[in-house]
Amino acid sequence: MSAPTAASRKPDALERDALAVLHPTFHGTDTPPTWLLRLLESGGMTGVGLFGRNVVSDEQVTGLTARLHEANPEVLIAIDEEGGDVTRLEVRTGSSVPGSLALGAVDDPDLTRAVAAELGRRLVARGITLNWAPSADVNSNPDNPVIGSRSFGADPALVARHTVAYVEGLQSAGVAACVKHFPGHGDTDVDSHLAMPRIGVDRDTLTERELLPFRAAIAAGTRCVMSAHILVPALDPELPGTLSPAVLNGLLRAPVSEGGLGFEGVIVTDGMEMDAVAARWGVERGNVLAIAAGADAICVGGTPSDEAEVLRMRDALVAAVRSGELPEERLHDAAERVRALGRWTAARRAEALASGNPGTAGDTGGTGRGSAGNIGTEAARRAVRISAPAGAPPFAPLTGPAHVLVLTPAANVAVGSETPWGLGPALTRLLPGTTTDRRGRTAPDAVPAVVEEVLREAGERRLVVVVRDVHRHAWMGETLAALVAARPDTAVVEMGVPQAPPSGALHIATHGAARVCAEAAAEVLTGGTIPRGTART
């Protein structure tokens, strides 16, 4: 009789601990892979992640997660559902709730708490138990290419109070929150998906700025904290946060009496396939270093895993324990923390299901018409800021078809290119016949020709130009300036961080590119009433 293969034999206790800390993602929308169900059922695996590639509809997601819960009733099913620009459940339509920057612009923690609670109810109804959100990053660097509108803002105290409200709202619905990206990704100008960011500030600045929202979230009871693949020499001159014992164990986990944050929950890594880690250490080696440093759950998010990759990661952990590099008690402690979180989410999910129809109040079905859609619309409207530069001509509301130009930067890796954004569909619903043109990066010497072509396409129709983080893109600013000079009655809609001075006859800052943010801007352009709490600057 042949010996059982590594994939088919029953794993031992050490292998079960190793599998417990691995949270991969996978291909598939209808049925999870057979190997994944087997490892969840009898191999010791505790969690998986979902991305837009796993989503077709709310009903489909509910069926998909039901199979995962059947395999392991205490499974952690995670998703990156920040709302706003980063949405997975509404990846093909755009989010029915605005993101963090819009909520921070309103600065009503009760509203933030209510939006997060509605998101939480919707996640629970779909079988999802862990949300890799919110971002607790203080967006202190306007040139940040990956955080931006995912942050509540640039003021640490504002970010702290809204991070707390989001955590409280999400967890009140029975979904574990995961604040990110520790020790803070806001003061970076490099995307850790692509390379290693570095924050060169001193320890006092970190304490007063980056760490403030994390301390507040921990005090509020967040169940998880996600580490960042960033180098902070004031904490560790050699290793990024995810791989650094000084950052994870010496700061995040250390008691408050010893200068730490005293976090007792689950530390989740950012995606281990991201180049900030994988390009130098590789996924398997990075996995070992992260657990040794103090992480409890390994996320492999950006690219789907197969069975071979998961078993390689498991075997790397087992080999590290057997060689003495990774203490067995450290791996077991990580596995036990993750299992405890699974028990918590299973109990909270059962309570929500027993209470009757969890999530129906927030069930938008992708249309934005449910209660979550209503509160999302309210929040998006309240986040709108309207201004105009000195000397701009008076703006008359649009009454007929317009021509919308969307100046489109390269997609943020965290946001992805699947989710639509812009103003065209929202404005077309109000003004049938409106047309949309999208333009990408333009060379400086090509700007005049582009402007001439856009004006020709617009004809007699009013022009609306949509930008996103125009302050970070010189080509976008040059094109916008030329268009406004040629057509002073142009309306400008900024759907990113409104850092640049206002331009156009009317300048609308939506503080995010969610679908509801576009709808709020379209209402203003057509003369809709500016809601209470909306500022004209």
**Residues taking part in catalysis:** 193, 270
Only one residue has tokens 């919707």, namely 122
| 344 three-state secondary structure | helix
Provide the token pair at 146: 């990956």
Per-residue burial over 279-317, b = 16 or more CB atoms within 10 Å of its CB, e = otherwise: eebebbbbbbbbbbbbbbbbbbbbebbebebbbebbebb
Q: How far apart are CA 232 and CA 254, in angstroms?
A: 18
3-state SS of 227-281 is: ECCCECCCCCCCCCHHHCHHHHHHHHCCCHHHCCCCCCCEEECCCCCCHHHHHHH
Give the phi and the psi of residue 503 in degrees, each rounded to 5: -145, 165
The whole-angstrom separation of Cα 85 and Cα 45 is: 31
**Separation of alpha carbons 268 and 340, rounded Å:** 14
Grouping H, G, I as helix, E, B as strand and the rest as coil, residue 537 is coil
Which residues, 6 or more positions from 48, have their beta carbon under 8 angstroms from its beta carbon?
23, 24, 25, 26, 32, 36, 40, 68, 75, 76, 77, 78
Give CA–CA dist 439/453, Å, rounded.
Answer: 11
What is the separation of C-alpha 40 from the centre of its chain, rounded to a whole number of angstroms? 26
Whether 190 contacts 229, CB under 8 Å: no
298: CB partners within 8 A, 6+ apart = 21, 22, 23, 269, 272, 287, 290, 291, 313
The residue whose two tokens read 């306007």 is 142
Coil vs helix vs strand at 384: coil
3-state secondary structure (DSSP) of residue 494: strand
Tell me if 405 sits within 8 A of 463, measured CB to CB: yes
Direct distance between the N- and C-terminal alpha carbons of the chain, in angstroms, rounded to an integer: 79
What single DSSP character describes residue 209?
I
Alpha-carbon gap, residue 74 to 276, rounded angstroms: 32
